Structure 1
Amino acid sequence: MAVSLIRLGLRSVSANLERSAAIVSSASVRKQIKLIHTKPVCHNGVCYLQEKSWEGDLSEAASSALRRSYSKQHGRPEEDRRKQQSDSDSDSDSDTECKGLDRSDFWRRKMRTVHNILDIDKDGLISFNDFVLFSERFKALGHLDEKQAKEFSDIIKMTWEEQWGAIDPYNYVTVEQYLEDMHHVLNDKTLKKKAHRWLPYLFKAVDKDKSGFISVKEFKLFFECLGLDNEHAAVAFAVIDTNGDGKLSQKEFVKLGKDFFCTEDETRVSKMFWGPLHEI
């Protein structure tokens, strides 16, 4: 009789432990579900992501740690992101080739600047949703026709997939990962040619009068879409408009944008292209 009571007691304790474990596991799963983004909503040239959250979301710090962990596990594997250097023809902009394994603090400041610009929600990480929202800001200006807008969206998607892999809510790019990946992109001739193919669409989006040139006023639209101050736009334009004709052609615009990523020469005027440099 005593033995039966002991067995019954052990089964009861075991059942309680199993139920407790199930409850803890269920709560843990709920907590590990991050914000799910919906489509961006734009108004007067400013775009936002509508968000809905699940009950039991993690704290901001814990959520950030979870996203970083998931990104490492489910994003593009490191060996896939770092494609072997192609034997294809070199980029025509040979004067902007990045060489050597180490990058200067100046170059790192520039990459941090762009990471901060692309980090639309300012959580310290870049996601595909940030990329989408970035493109929506320019499309919301209304200066791209339907075909151009679709091409722009397609290129943004391809750029993300080629550089960072999976498109899902948890694949994020940290600052250090962005620095590391851009280092490899710039040393891979094939990836380098593709990395900034969306630059012409930024130009067309701000070329309001479709003249094939952008003025300082239109360059201010560019900075507005980047989330930067108009005053910075005027200063930057004055510096990069080296011939002083008050306008930039698409060729000049694209070359400045690419040069920003490639050169480590602090005297190049392209350092002003993406606004004030981020402090290390």
Structure 2
Amino acid sequence: MAVSLIRIGLRAVAFNLERSAAILTSASVQTQYKLFHTKPVCQNGVCYLQESRSREELSDLQPSAIRRSYSKHHGRPEEDRRKQQSESDSDSDSDTECKSLERSEFWRRKMRTVHNILDVDKDGLISFNDFVLFAERFKALGHLDDAQAEEFSAIIKLTWEEQWGAIDPYNFVTVEQYLEDMHHVLNDKTLKKKAHRWLPYLFKAVDKDKSGFISVKEFKLFFECLGLDNEHAAVAFAVIDVNGDGKLSLKEFVKLGKDFFFTEDETRVSKMFWGPLIEI
């Protein structure tokens, strides 16, 4: 009888220990989960963790939705500067437009090429200051009148704010962030229409004789402003001048500039528009 009571007592103790361990383990997992799904918030150089979303909300998000972006000074949470992807189909400018989340390596290479061009100070990050320097290169040619130069600056500023948010010294765009942002733009009907509205100003800035067409000589000015070698300009122009008339109209220039972003088709001549594709 005594032995039976001892056995019952031991079983009760074991049960309680297992129950306590399960509770502690569950609490530990929840704590770890919260720590894993928190984001750093930095103010004046001091960073702390802040819980961002519930487990239910996180389960519905794509991995890209909880991506963190970092400046070269300190980590900071990505600003909520973009709306959720539009449910409506984007307007297609070509039958080969990129739509899937998994872009081809060719398209990603093209986006890295443009990121490198827009990174004027070559620190590996795009800032609003880079955008300003980029615009100043074209304005410095002196071929835009005062009204056009003012409009160009305003559109560059608006483009930054709509795509990358606040104008501040800690708002940087990394290569991977640029890739994701351009994917988002191509799949958002409104953003897609606005994204490259500054292209006509690039054309007008290098149209030295104001003929309404760009010659190979003027296309070399375009490459110079992009920070590229003149030798590449002649090769690129020979490829993109499909009809062989030795000139590009404004319509052709803008179409080529946009098509570079829109397509994953490696046979398109637009792949030469922004110069040699960056080596990976």
Normalised TM-score (structure 1): 0.73
Cα distance change of structure 1 residues 169 and 229 upon mapping to structure 2, 3 Å threshold:
same
Secondary structure of the residue that 1:152 maps to in structure 2? helix
Partner of 2:85: 84
Question: Which residue does 1:132 correspond to in 2?
Answer: 132
Q: Deviations over 1:82-101 (max 9, x none)?
A: 4331648x536243532212
Superposition pairs of residues 103-252 of structure 1, within 5 angstroms: 103-252=103-252
Whichever residue aligns with residue 66 of structure 1, its letter is: H
Deviation at 1:76, TM superposition (A): 2.9
Q: Distance in 2 between matches of 1:231 and 1:224?
A: 10
For the aligned residue pairs, the C-alpha RMSD in angstroms reads 2.1
The residue identity in structure 1 corresponding to 2:82 is R
* Structure 1 runs not aligned, ≥5 long: 1-28, 33-62
Quote the Cα distance in structure 1 between the aligned partners of 2:72 and 2:125. 11
The residue number in structure 2 matching 1:66 is: 73
Q: Which amino acid aligns with 2:73?
A: L
Runs of 4+ in structure 1 deviating by more than 3 angstroms, as ranges, are: none
Query: Which position in structure 1 is the counterpart of 2:26?
Result: none
User: Equivalents in 1 of 2:72, 2:251: separation in Å?
Assistant: 41
Q: In 2 relative to 1, CA 125–248 (structure 1 residues): closer, same or farther, beyond 3 Å?
A: same
Q: Which amino acid aligns with 1:173?
A: V
Q: Name the residue aligned to 2:268.
A: 268
- The structure with the larger Rg is 2
Cα deviation, 1:156-192, whole Å, max 9, x if unaligned, reads 0010000000001110000000000100100111100
The letter for the 2-side match of 1:83 is: Q
The answer to whether the Cα contact below 8 Å between 2:96 and 2:265 also exists between their aligned partners in 1 is: no
CA contact 1:76–1:165 (8 Å) conserved in 2: yes
| SS state at 1:166 partner | coil
Alignment correspondent of 1:98 = 98
- Counterpart of 1:84, as a letter, is Q
- The AA in structure 2 aligned to 1:155 is I
Query: Residue by residue, what CA displacement relative to the aligned partner does 1:53-110 show, whole Å, maximum 9, x if unpaired?
Result: xxxxxxxxxx96425x24xx3x532xx324331648x536243532212100000000
Q: Distance in 2 between matches of 1:126 and 1:207?
A: 27
Q: Look up the equivalent residue of 1:116 and give its one-letter code.
A: N
Report what 1:254 is aligned to.
Answer: 254
- Secondary structure of 1:85's match? coil
Question: 3-state DSSP class of the match of 1:81?
Answer: coil
- Quote the Cα distance in structure 2 between the aligned partners of 1:160 and 1:248: 28
Contact persistence 1:152–1:198 (CA under 8 A): yes
Identical-residue share of aligned pairs (%): 84
Q: Number of matched residues?
A: 215
Spell out the pairing of 1:48-67 with structure 2 (5 A cutoff): 65-67=72-74
1:202 alignment partner AA:
L
What amino acid does structure 1 have at the position aligned with 2:227?
G
